[in-house]
Structure 1
Amino acid sequence: MADPQTAARTAVITGASSGIGAATARALHADGYRVALLARRADRIDALAAELGDGAIAIRADVTDRDALVAAAGRVQAELGGADVLVNNAGTMLLGPFSADQRDDYRAMVEVNLLGTLTATEVFLDQLKSSDQRKRGGGDLINISSVAGRTARATNGVYAATKWGVNGWSESMRQELLPDVRVTLIEPGVVDTELPTHITHAATREAVQKGYDAATVKPGEIAEIIAFVLSRPRHLAINEVLVRPATQLG
């Protein structure tokens, strides 16, 4: 049931075409948020926006393209009154041995996971900090990281580096944006998403998929945590959440 206190709030979700992003859009819309769905795959976010109905808009945008994000921010302001919440969810996990053969993959992870998160935040920050948002309770910045931001393993070095970067930057932003914007870092373990299928290194993809087959949490379970964090009274900030399958060791 929608909370009257959230009915006037807008959440922008990057990487909203699948997985945690799509699940978060559904959860927040059910809680009364207007939602802006940002992703590269227009067909998927168009379908999700149609599923959600009033208060949901789909905007094709790649987080590595600042001009596209600026245009998206303009639409969010014009159509939904500006962003109260930014969920930096867009990410890619292209694991594999560190070598020249993987150069395109590791550059993509840096550009999407780290630089994309920074750029999206930079573009939407004025909306999160605006006087209108403060009247509605203040802004929220939710950064989706990973347990890999705490634990590096063979073949995940660059992915871990990007997530460690997100973790450190999030803590800095937490301090910098007080008291106008709350910052929360979400660090999922193994989540049942399509990420393993994107791995280009065949042996690594097979090994990772075995781990995913053994135990995962559902994207909707991560979305429930995000909704809970956002539902807390403004004097309370949940700054960091590490969540894994109960049987995941690392």
Structure 2
Amino acid sequence: MTETETKPRVALVTGAGGGIGGAIARHLAEAGHAVAAADLDEAAAVAVAKGLPTPSIGVGVDISDSASVAAAVARVEAELGPVDVLVNNAGIDKIEPFVQSTEDTWRKVVDVNYLGTVIVTRAVLDGMVERGFGRIIHIASDAGRVGSSGEVVYSGSKGAMIAFGKALAREVATKGVTVNTVCPGPTDTALLKQVSDLSEKMFDAMRRAVPMKRIGTPDDVAPAVVFFAGEGAAFITGQTLSVSGGLTMA
């Protein structure tokens, strides 16, 4: 690396083995970031990392476990460098009426979607503050803004992510760290397949409700993350952006 070259920013993307996470990892790499693709499924994370054009690694991590997160962050820092950009994308859900859901499901959803976001954020935040630079992007959901039938606890966990991001953005606003949230609408992922498997009629109704009359793709979501991670968003923090084809205008 010459004196005129700068080291690429390091981005850690959780849930990178899935559709949206994989697209985010790819788009960040194409924008010049070194990428740590992290996922509970380490093999999937490694496969994503191997296809990226910048220095990248695949890391196995359980974001609901503090020790697992600490080990993953230590490995990322040792192999790529300090984390400059964190994308809290990992999430789980089970489509079903609330009255049929169980406490075991509630706890798993909250532990991963909300507390997992808190745990990973806390693991990298001190370093960002010390270096005077950080970009934290949460991948929540429009369900967290307006609610979604069959996703009651999931909606609550995503709403918590949004509120957490806003409050944290206020605390670190003078530290060079921004915190923003991207809320996908109906997007072609394994989660959405749960809807179509449950009811094709419900899936078709969802598609028709989108003003653009189509379901989103992971590649529709990723550019918003790249924007929030970039220098052009340096004066933007505490914001929530829906990527939903106009379904949610809030």
5+ residue gaps in structure 1?
Answer: none
Query: 1:95, CA displacement in angstroms?
Result: 2.4
CA RMSD of aligned residues (A): 2.5
- For 1:157, give the aligned amino acid: V
2:122 aligned partner: 122
| Aligned-residue identity in percent | 31
**3-state SS of 1:141 partner:** strand
User: In 2, Cα distance between the equivalents of 1:229 and 1:6?
Assistant: 20
1:67 aligned partner: 67
1:15-30 matches, within 5 Å, as: 15-30=15-30
Query: 1:23, CA displacement in angstroms?
Result: 0.4
2:183 aligned partner: 187
Query: 1:46, CA displacement in angstroms?
Result: 1.3
1:152 aligned partner: 147
Q: Which moved more, 1:178-187 or 1:46-55?
A: 46-55
- For 2:99, give the aligned amino acid: S
**Kept in 2: contact 1:12–1:86 (CA 8 A):** yes
Query: 1:198, CA displacement in angstroms?
Result: 5.2
Q: Out of 165, 169, 180, which is 1:170 matched to? A: 165
1:1-16 matches, within 5 Å, as: 7-16=7-16
Query: 1:107, CA displacement in angstroms?
Result: 1.9
1:41 aligned partner: 41
Query: 1:121, CA displacement in angstroms?
Result: 0.6
- For 2:127, give the aligned amino acid: Q
Q: 1:219 to 1:7 in 2, by over 3 A?
A: farther
Q: Which moved more, 1:20-29 or 1:96-105?
A: 96-105
User: In 2, Cα distance between the equivalents of 1:104 and 1:110?
Assistant: 10
Query: 1:247, CA displacement in angstroms?
Result: 5.7
User: In 1, Cα distance between the equivalents of 2:205 and 2:104?
Assistant: 25
Q: 1:5 to 1:175 in 2, by over 3 A?
A: farther
Query: 1:163, CA displacement in angstroms?
Result: 1.1
1:112 aligned partner: 112
5+ residue gaps in structure 2?
Answer: 209-213
TM-score by length of 2: 0.86
String of CA shifts for 1:12-39, please: whole Å, max 9, x gaps: 0000001111101001101110000110
TM-score by length of 1: 0.86
Q: 1:92 to 1:5 in 2, by over 3 A?
A: farther
Q: Which moved more, 1:101-110 or 1:85-94?
A: 101-110
User: In 2, Cα distance between the equivalents of 1:32 and 1:174?
Assistant: 25
Q: 1:197 to 1:77 in 2, by over 3 A?
A: same
Q: 1:70 to 1:235 in 2, by over 3 A?
A: closer
- For 2:38, give the aligned amino acid: L
User: In 2, Cα distance between the equivalents of 1:26 and 1:130?
Assistant: 28
**Kept in 1: contact 2:29–2:54 (CA 8 A):** no
User: In 2, Cα distance between the equivalents of 1:196 and 1:37?
Assistant: 22
**3-state SS of 2:51 partner:** helix
In the TM superposition, structure 1's runs of 4+ consecutive aligned residues that sit over 6 Å from their partners are none
